[in-house]
Structure 1
Amino acid sequence: MQALPIDKLRDEFDGALASGHVVVEAPTGSGKSTRLPLWCAEQGPVLMVEPRRMAARSLARHVAELRGCDLGEEVGYAVRFDARHGKDTRIVFVTPGVALRWLAAHGLDRFSSVVLDEFHERRWDTDLLAAQLKGAGRHRLVVTSATVAGQRLARYLGGMRLEAEGRTHPVDIAYNGEPSLPSTKNLEQRVANAVRRMLQETAEGDILVFLPGRGEIRAAEQALSGTDMEVIPLHAGVDTAIQDRALRTADHRRVILATNVAETSLTLPGVRVVVDSGLERRTHHRGGRTVLGLQAISQAAADQRAGRAGRLGPGRCLRLWAREARLEDYTPPEVAREELDDLLLAAAASGTPVTELEFPDPLPEHALERAWQRLRVMDAIDEAGYLTDHGRRLFPLPLDPLFAHLITAMPDADTRAAMTDLAAALSTDRPLLRPMRREEERQALLEWAPEPCDATTRIRLVRGDPPRAVPANRGALAEARRMADQIRQALDLPERNPDFPLPRESLLEAALAAAPELAYVRRAKRRSALGNGQAEIQPAEESRFPEEAEAALVFDQHSIPGKGTTRTLNLGTCMAPVSLETLARRDLGVVEHDDPAWDGETVTVTARRVYAERTIASESVEAEGPALRAALADLILSGKLLEGAGDRLREEIEAWNLYVALDFGEGEPLPEPREWLVERLQSLGVEQGSDLELVEVRDLEPRGIPEWERARFDRHYPRRLNLEGIDTVVHYEARRKRVTVEKVGGARTTVPRRTELPAWQGWKVQYRDGSRLVPVS
């Protein structure tokens, strides 16, 4: 075999592995992903955990070739919907999700060592595997990293740290100068210009272009359509045959348009030039959910990308941002920027609640608490953090916990099958439909799936093929159908059938009951936006959500940059319209009472059910309990009930509070008149309208200033003054010994003289007339 830089560590590694856990800190290209599993296999079967399916498959194939065996015999792999290994396979490459499910099922008993490759990507699932395996004692744990501080990681594991040299050549890095920060503005054209420039300035090697996602890759493909170069898209959703083309050496120059899947996990043998957009799609918290947003990469990621150009010899890297732009040093770990539902559920499934685990970085308390509450509401975990029977049904499903919960919450086989198909459609790496640009495409979809509902459209796509005019993504459809079939089989549901009932209304009613946070309503003044009280979305361009609909269940969304540098725009990509009445039937939101009325016999109020600041239902009802007391307070204070009682109450509270503030008497200030009235009516036992007959006006008068002192107090400290040509109210600031006489009526324009006012000895006096404030001397 060809010598690799990591070969120098062989003896040290064997000794370290025999004694405990090992951290191998080695740059990309050193050979760690191919040599370590071979070395570990000499001490027993090894599980090689790769962060991405593409890497797991390609590395398994490469290591099998190095061993001279057929793939699936001594060396194999297992990823979602694709596995080639047997009970005697010595080296199995898997994704973290598969490793967690195997850990929950049988504790990984047959493996003597577990390698967590590319740990610097800091996924939540590899963090969890490290936390679960580091103290178990049954496995030797090997953690590889290209950028994370190895010494800190070795201390965490209680193991040995080894360092390997890389096999990299100098890379000349240039910047295009505009824009100052990585940006999507005119990105496809800037990429095309950069590729053409590199073709002119370099003589050999493939050009690797880093882009944030499939949409940007498609746009760049179109912008490069006029070149003679072979252009290969590389992301998790492309067909295996296309992936293989990118991973093999060619006898001609190529342009590979890749997501960050090509940063560290894959070996692209012909690359000598890198063009870096500086962008990635990264998960983050938003409104209690994990959403995918477009962001600038970290400096560590930029260095990793540039290093791809120096594998074969001196290389070039052109960064599409300004040299002076400041990037964050490292990408925050997923546990710091994602919701933790999956992590909590996976930990519970393995028999160790997160409260008993030590993680490489502490879990954020706010996200941990939200996840704990959500899983408790789902009845997935018990109070101690262990799986419930319902949780055991959720975890084996290869789905986000929310979708697994929705499936198991459906009331019957028809709705369970429909939710299974919808969940499968939303769990693929690619959308089921390509963008529809021609009117005949949209019309064909409308005739085939007439409901203006993204959810039912996706269910129909999973169940049967649309007309040829509809631009379906055949690879994504195949993946969704495989997943749907797997879940249907696990849940003993009927096989897929395009003629199977599609109970849309009962499906959405059950989904709303199981996950009410999925409900969004249109904003009252901005119809382009919908909210659920925690987050706001806009329908995505590809959504079929109709303009006239007022509410939706939003099953899927993603984020894109909005206006400004820190804002993001959330787009609803799978929206199912529902009526406001449906939301009200499920008792969403809170009931508010207003518009009190008194007809001489009955107090009525308007009961409004408010969800996300939008009234979704209202009716006039006879007031009772707290609503009655609040209505009575408003009616009394407005003079519509017990005439004069409201004015007297205001005067008594105002006088008493000034009396106390001036230290003329002992006692506590009284609350505002409305609050005092509500409390007083409650203490009088007012619960129903008929109780009002037992209430007398004197019952609504607070105990205030003693009668023998009241007249003198009012004379010295009046709250209202009628002067010549002016009506005023008087405001007292006792602490500052300041009086403000405010004009509220009258034709007089001159300032009152001091002799017209009470003595107010020792007080500073000022007069306010509109915006004018002047001292009174």
Structure 2
Amino acid sequence: MDEQPIDTLRPEFEAVTGHVGGEAPTGSGKSTRLPLWCADAGRTLVVEPRRIAARSLARHVAGLAGTEPGHGIGWAVRFDSRYRDDSAAIFTTPGVALRWLAADGLAGFATVILDEFHERRWDTDLLLALLRHHGRHRLVVTSATLAGAALADYLDAARLRAEGRQHPVETTYSGEPELPTTRGLADRVAAAVRRDLERTDDRGDRLVFLPGRGEIRAAAEALGDLAAEVIELHAGIDNATQDRALTAADRPRVILATNVAETSLTLPGVTSVIDAGLERRTHHRGGRSVLGLHAISQAAADQRAGRAGRLRPGRCLRLWSRSARLEAHTPPEVAREELDDLLLAAAAAGVPARDLAFPDPLPTHAVERAETRLTAMAALDEAGHLTDHGRRLFPLPLDPLFAHLITAMPDPATTAAMADLAAALTAGPNLLGPLKGEEQRQTLLDWAPEPDDAATLIRLVRADPPRPVPLRKSTVNEARRLADDIRAALDLPRRTEDPPPLAALLQAAVSAVPELGFVRRLKRRQALGNGTEEVVVAEESRLPDEAEAAVVFDQHAVPGKGTNETVNRATCASPVEPATLAAAGVGGTEVADPDWDGERITVTERRTLAGRTLASEAVEPTGPALREAAAKLVLAGRLFAGTGEAVSEAIEAWNLYLHLEWGEGEPAPEPAAWLANRLAELGVESGEDLALIEAGDLAFQGVPSWQRERFDEHYPRRLGLEGAEARVHYDLRRRRIRVEKTAGRRRTIPARGELPAWPGWRIEYQDGSRVVDIA
């Protein structure tokens, strides 16, 4: 076994009986040595952030231990598990570890290693908080870039540090653009790779860091005539391709990778790194965790550059300017994501998230939003504990939103269809490749005639499209495996090629999660809104231009025009009628246009969303809506004629009476509010109740009758002037009186002596649009 830099720490490590916080750079051997050392003292679970790393490390460590992979050393990741009950060490991912923790508290393990903790995923943060809370296991937490003092304090752990085996890396910058960007990225990558391969003295591999599968495919196409082998490396790639990338070759290769290649993976032949400086990561958006494109942190940039110096001195070309300012570290996921998954997983493990101490405190606003959503979907009770419904949701390897949608479907057919859709959206952003040419587009249209993204995805999970429609087979296979797992967990029938019951699925989906309902903007037709957020229909979406409403199941954030601006693209949208959203209770209601036909009151009830009317109908209101409508009709003189005017004048007189300290009492509200309250006092709940009251029941008793005549002489609401009738308005706050001419042919301004005394008031006269002061 080759000696590794971390080997010098073994005596010190074995002398520590408690928790350990280990800091060691990539290449020090921490991911391969520590599992073997811990396994010597008891069965060990090793948690790696990614499936690729868990599987590849397990195979490598099994070789070091001289055991068959899957026997003494095994792995357990989604869709691929090889271990035995007596395996000394099992490599797994945080999701699997959390499910095992919820099932039996990880009773079969003495030690749990959380490797690459510096990536600060929400699930590793939660695992650490839960394991610390329970106190049943020895914890070993390793990090390549994170300062360990705070972590050691949090765990009350011994802090061990090892040096790496790192050769010098020469870092250069492309100079343009200023910041990392996708603009012209494929061509810039291709040019950089070709220049680097011209170095005949370097027979090593070139590792290119790109933000996602789409950029990897574009770069691969731009390098299509390259003599060197081009390998794509990302989470969705098949095992055979992964193994090829992780095995040394005898000629230079170009490995196009996402950030899965930043840490644990051993890429043995890399001597040159070309870094686009971008990654896809989640962030808060409208109460959801949305995947967006971001510049990497400086710590991630340094980590990527270090991959070039594992074998010998290497090179790193950064495709941005040296003067660009990157954030020091990537914020932890708990600080930038919605926390529904975390709260659900914590409750499944028996501890509400609020009762746990995390390495970094959870944002209060995100916890409250997640609690509200999970309580609304009946996954958590008011105390934060798991309900029976939540217990059914948790084992599904899905976002809680999709898990909830599956369980909210009304029958097995829609449940199965929703399971297929959720599997497709979880497996990857696209199951289809880009459509090129009319033949591909027409073939897809003939096979999947619905102009609907959800229907297309469900069809793709259930069957292959005919040629020449391009299919991303590895992503489709993962979606089908996941769909089969969900179906098996819920005792649903096996997949068939039957068309999905889409109308029922969409109705149930927006009834369960109303915020999935969006309406088209009237002026910007590419944009849709739901009252709290806006999305733009993605270019690849099949949503027709004429659709006025849609159910948006998935969205993706991309950079906008500004430095910090992002645009959310609707990548999976299904057209629906606005009335469908209204029937599901989406949006809010407003009542307008009260009417009285002599026998009954009706109003127009509108259900609206994002400023648009989804549906409207004339209804007979009851309760508060009836009383509000009746009050408006009274004030308009259409119900109990004369009563509205009398109430308005009496309320105005009373409030003026109090303001001038002629008496004591409580000010009255606006006439409409007073009338609605009075109708409530009279017990009016329906049209039949309204028929039992009389106009006198609505009289406002304000200024005492024995003072009313005298008060009205001093402060009238109406005046008779020579040649004119006028209405008097009192502005109490400004102590201003406006005399408004309402009738008559008078053209002159009244003299001061024609008006009441009104001491201390500023007086104005209004005739039409002309307003003048009266001295």
Distance change (3 Å), C-alpha of 1:159 and 1:747: farther
CA distance in 2 between partners of 1:727 and 1:497 (Å): 82
**Percent of paired sites with the same residue:** 66
Identify the residue that residue 539 of structure 2 maps to in structure 1: 541
TM-score, with length taken from structure 1 = 0.90
Indicate conservation of the 8 Å contact 2:514/2:587, yes or no: no
Deviations 1:589-645 (A, max 9, x none): 443221111222222211223344432222212333322222222222233334443
Find the counterpart in structure 2 of residue 69 from structure 1. Answer: 67
TM-score by length of 2: 0.90
The 5 A counterparts of 1:348-363 are: 348-363=347-362
- Structure 2 spans left out of the alignment, 5+ residues: none
Question: Which shows bigger deviation, 348-357 or 690-699?
Answer: 690-699
Q: CA deviation at 1:183?
A: 2.6
| Equivalence map 1:50-449=2 (5 Å) | 50-196=48-194, 198=196, 204=202, 205-225=204-224, 227-429=226-428, 431-449=430-448
Aligned to 1:704: 702
Structure 1 range deviating more: 512-521 or 86-95 = 512-521
Q: Deviation of residue 732 (structure 1)?
A: 5.6
Q: Which amino acid aligns with 2:616?
A: S
Separation in 2 of the partners of 1:722 and 1:299?
81
SS in 1 for 2:556: strand
Which residue is 2:2 aligned to? 2
The answer as to whether partners of 1:662 and 1:734 remain within 8 angstroms in 2 is: no
The within-5 A match list for 1:594-633 is 594-633=592-631
State the match for 2:462 in structure 1.
463
| Native 8 Å contact 1:134 1:157 kept in 2 | yes
Cα distance in 1 for partners of 2:321, 2:303 equals 18
* Cα distance, 1:757–1:461 mapped onto 2, change above 3 Å: same
1:230-259 deviation line (CA, Å, top 9, x unaligned): 433221122233323332333444333222
Q: CA deviation at 1:435?
A: 1.5
Distance 1:767 1:148 in 2: 75
Q: Distance in 1 between matches of 2:437 and 2:231?
A: 26
Judged with a 3 Å threshold, the aligned counterparts in structure 2 of structure 1 residues 201 and 658 are, in CA distance, closer, same or farther, namely: farther
SS in 2 for 1:426: helix
Structure 2 CA distance, aligned partners of 1:627 and 1:171? 73
With over 3 angstroms needed to count, the CA separation of the structure-2 counterparts of 1:275 and 1:773, relative to structure 1, is farther
1:586 maps to which residue? Answer: 584
| Cα shift at 1:434 | 0.9
* Counterparts of 1:67 and 1:719, CA distance in 2: 99
Change (3 A) 1:360 1:651: same
CA displacement, residues 436-489 of structure 1 (integer Å, 9 cap, x when unaligned): 122111211121222222222222222222212211111122222222223333
Q: Which runs of 5+ in 1 are unaligned?
A: none
Give the match's secondary structure for 1:133: helix
TM superposition shift of 1:745 = 10
Q: Answer yes or no: is the 8 Å Cα contact 1:726–1:748 preserved in 2.
A: yes
Equivalent residue letter for 2:42: G
CA displacement, residues 276-311 of structure 1 (integer Å, 9 cap, x when unaligned): 332221112222222111122223222322333333
Query: Cα distance 1:571–1:745, how it changes in 2: closer, same or farther (>3 A)?
Result: farther
Name the amino acid aligned to 1:400. Answer: D
Residue-pair matches, total: 774
Structure 1 Cα separation of the partners of residues 661 and 171 of structure 2: 76
The answer to whether residue 14 in structure 2 is matched with residue 11 in structure 1 is: no
Once the two structures are superposed, residues 318-365 of structure 1 have per-residue CA deviations (whole angstroms, 9 ceiling, x without a partner) of 333344433333222112222222222222222333233222122223
Name the SS of the counterpart of 1:521 in structure 2. Answer: strand
Code of the aligned partner of 2:10 = R
- Whether 2:676 is the aligned partner of 1:678: answer yes
Higher mean displacement: 223-232 or 60-69: 223-232
CA contact (8 A) 1:236 1:429 kept: no
Question: How far 1:49 moved relative to its partner?
Answer: 0.6
Mapped to 2, the partners of 1:728 and 1:490 lie a distance apart of: 79
Distance 1:685 1:297 in 2: 64
Q: 1:280 to 1:717 in 2, by over 3 A?
A: farther
AA partner of residue 71 (structure 1): P
The aligned amino acid for 2:494 is E
Secondary structure at the counterpart of residue 570 of structure 1: strand
Q: Shift of the alpha carbon at 1:37?
A: 1.0
Structure 1 position 773, deviation (Å):
9.5
Asked if 1 retains the 8 angstrom alpha-carbon contact of 2:23 and 2:162, the reply is yes
Counterpart of 1:495 in structure 2 is: 494
Match of residue 41 from structure 1: 39
Structure 1 Cα separation of the partners of residues 762 and 158 of structure 2: 77
- Give the letter aligned to residue 670 of structure 1: A
- Asked if 2 retains the 8 angstrom alpha-carbon contact of 1:171 and 1:307, the reply is yes
TM-aligned CA deviation for residue 59 of structure 1: 1.3
Give the superposition deviation at 1:755. 7.8
Partner Cα distance (1:749, 1:187) in 2: 77
- 170-179 vs 100-109, which deviates more? 170-179
Comparing 551-560 with 595-604, greater Cα deviation is found at: 551-560
Alpha-carbon distance change, 756 to 371 in structure 1, aligned in 2, over 3 angstroms: same
CA gap 1:233/1:731 in 2 versus in 1, 3 angstroms: farther
Deviates more, 1:199-208 or 1:629-638: 199-208
Q: Tell me, yes or no, if the aligned pair for 2:511 and 2:585 is still in contact at 8 Å.
A: no
Does the Cα contact within 8 Å between 2:459 and 2:499 map onto a contact in 1? no
> Matches of 2:768 and 2:364 in 1, distance apart?
51
Q: CA deviation at 1:699?
A: 3.6
SS in 1 for 2:494: coil
Contact 1:562 1:568 in 2 (8 A): yes
Alpha-carbon contact 1:518-1:555 (below 8 Å) kept:
yes
Q: Structure 1 residues 409 and 659 mapped into 2: Cα distance closer, same or farther (>3 Å)?
A: same
Counterpart-to-counterpart distance in 2, 1:726 and 1:198 = 94
The SS at the match of 1:134 is helix
